[in-house]
Structure 1
């Protein structure tokens, strides 16, 4: 629906790798999992801080990718739950995009998008692991990984100008913090203005008075 929006925290620390963070349900904090993101009306999405960006839900959903949080999976659990799995994903070890695991694709490149990962039959896992050479690889049972995957969106997948085109919504530019004013004092000798730093660094350049407190 055109009146549904996600609200992103655009501050630099809110990104998880390349993943965008959105307001979670009921003020529960920020999440990358779109299934846990709060959906706002147009009015609700526009009533926000300068650092929060409204994204049309339909636009984001159409560009979502599938990610797997490394904190939510363990290989021993995966093998215990699916000892007879027929299909596997191949993970590149010691490599992440934020918390998201990195997967091998059919053409030999790597991605954090599980939807693009190669699905390997059990009998061929050793062959595919061998293609990664000395860097090694991890074979995960497909059913387990599918159960622990989530929909998210990364910054390269979306464009805010494109997303808001035709909505009539204009973003407010965040206000730059004001620089603190320099503390100034009058010289005890001649009355000229001197900075706080000058009081400690040197005597008055005009009359030579010592203005240290």
Structure 2
């Protein structure tokens, strides 16, 4: 039985690109890079906020993909650092999977998973670019891109029910926020119904009375 877990922040703003966000080392915030994610024991993972979800780390690691955030790479830097690179990745221009670059695979399709992308020798880059037709391509030095890659997991690659099946862990259901009921108001000048919020914006359109408290 797996007793080591990552802890995901499931709030809507916690997603970075397509990657799930997990607690980072030592309370350093949330990260998508699994190499920087805190690993918890079962007790530590189950003692969490309602919006945090424990994932068995072996389950997540087995379904991780390798991504490269377009915000962390520049072509000028890549060429400066690797002017004599012998191998390259081929990127589909002006296309991203959220923040992740899209790469060409051996079979001619494209993927955001760098582990499935084709590595092309320098002598063959023109041939591979030609296969893309008029769309063209962006060619990145292989060692530069590998240095800037990270392991992450996307929502479509994992299922929390399957991950926790048979482990005796029940997810905490987030508490629903109670909606405040705003009772209808009557204009103190003419008695017509007015909206609760509208009274702060305009005087009564029927009699001109100011209904602010």
- Please report the TM-score for the alignment, with normalisation by the length of structure 1: 0.85
Distance in 2 (alpha carbons) for counterparts of 1:78 and 1:150? 17
CA contact (8 A) 1:18 1:98 kept: yes
Distance 1:196 1:147, change over 3 A: closer
CA contact (8 A) 1:19 1:98 kept: no
CA contact (8 A) 2:7 2:23 kept: yes
Task: For residue 185 of structure 1, report the CA deviation from its aligned partner.
Answer: 6.2
Distance in 2 (alpha carbons) for counterparts of 1:74 and 1:168? 46
CA contact (8 A) 1:82 1:141 kept: yes
Do residues 138 (structure 1) and 146 (structure 2) align? no
Distance in 1 (alpha carbons) for counterparts of 2:3 and 2:77? 41
Q: Residues 117-132 of structure 1: matches in 2 within 5 Å?
A: 117-132=117-132
List runs of 5+ in structure 2 lacking aligned partners.
none
Distance in 1 (alpha carbons) for counterparts of 2:125 and 2:161? 43
- Corresponding residue of 2:86: 86
Task: For residue 113 of structure 1, report the CA deviation from its aligned partner.
Answer: 0.3
Distance in 1 (alpha carbons) for counterparts of 2:67 and 2:85? 20
Q: Residues 1-213 of structure 1: matches in 2 within 5 Å?
A: 2-183=2-183, 197=196, 212=211
Task: For residue 186 of structure 1, report the CA deviation from its aligned partner.
Answer: 8.4
RMSD of Structure 2 on Structure 1 (CA):
2.5
List runs of 5+ in structure 1 lacking aligned partners.
189-193, 204-209
Deviating more after overlay: 43-52 vs 155-164:
43-52
Aligned residues: 204
Task: For residue 202 of structure 1, report the CA deviation from its aligned partner.
Answer: 7.1
Distance in 2 (alpha carbons) for counterparts of 1:45 and 1:113? 28
- Structure 1 runs, 4 residues or longer, greater than 4 Å off: 184-188, 194-203, 210-213
CA contact (8 A) 1:102 1:112 kept: yes
1:172 is paired with a residue whose SS is: coil
